[in-house]
Amino acid sequence: MHLIFVILHRIYFPQKENKNIVPVIITKEFRFEAAHYLPNMPEGHKCRRMHGHSFKIGVKVKGQPDAFSGIVMDFAEIKAIVKPLIEMLDHYVINEVGTENNSPLLQNPTSENLAKWFFESLKEKLPGLYSIEVYETCTSYCEYIP
């Protein structure tokens, strides 16, 4: 009887059941330097030429803080999971990394494709991964939210 009551209560009063469940999004930022060129941009476009960026990546994880620790996830844990990907790209020509790894997303390394590549590469290891931000410059960035 009690179980039926609980189920009906959850169906009719879902907000009340969830009033203490407030998810938060935490972000860990990473920086690396790399060169790239965008082979699919129009002839003569400046982004077709090889050039470099000081990239900034935002890795966002969504979850409910643990009742005891008060955290969603240890930032150091995110760092350990993401670091190998940063090391793959830092001070390399991203297009060449993509060719070596047969990764079409890195062979045309737009911010959009980089963000998708980071997300796809991390989603299995980072449950709760919400989105990836890729900053090419201080004022231009992409956020990939599947």
Catalytic residue among 47, 77, 112, 143: 47
The phi, psi pair for 33, rounded to 5°, reads: -105, 135
Q: What whole-number distance in Å separates Cα of residue 21 and Cα of residue 117?
A: 31
Please confirm, yes or no, whether 47 is among the known catalytic residues. Answer: yes
Give the active site residue among 77, 112, 120, 136.
Answer: 136
Q: How far apart are CA 139 and CA 29, in angstroms?
A: 16
User: Is 136 among the catalytic positions?
Assistant: yes
Q: Residue 59: which residues within 8 A CB-CB, separation 6 or more?
A: 27, 28, 29, 30, 78, 82, 118, 122, 126, 129, 132
From the list 88, 67, 76, 68, the residue with the least C-alpha distance to 26 is 76
- Other Cβ atoms less than 10 A from the Cβ of 26: the count is 18
Among residues 9, 45, 51, 91, the one annotated as catalytic is 91
Task: Specify whether 29 is catalytic.
Answer: no
Which sequence positions are flagged as catalytic?
47, 91, 136
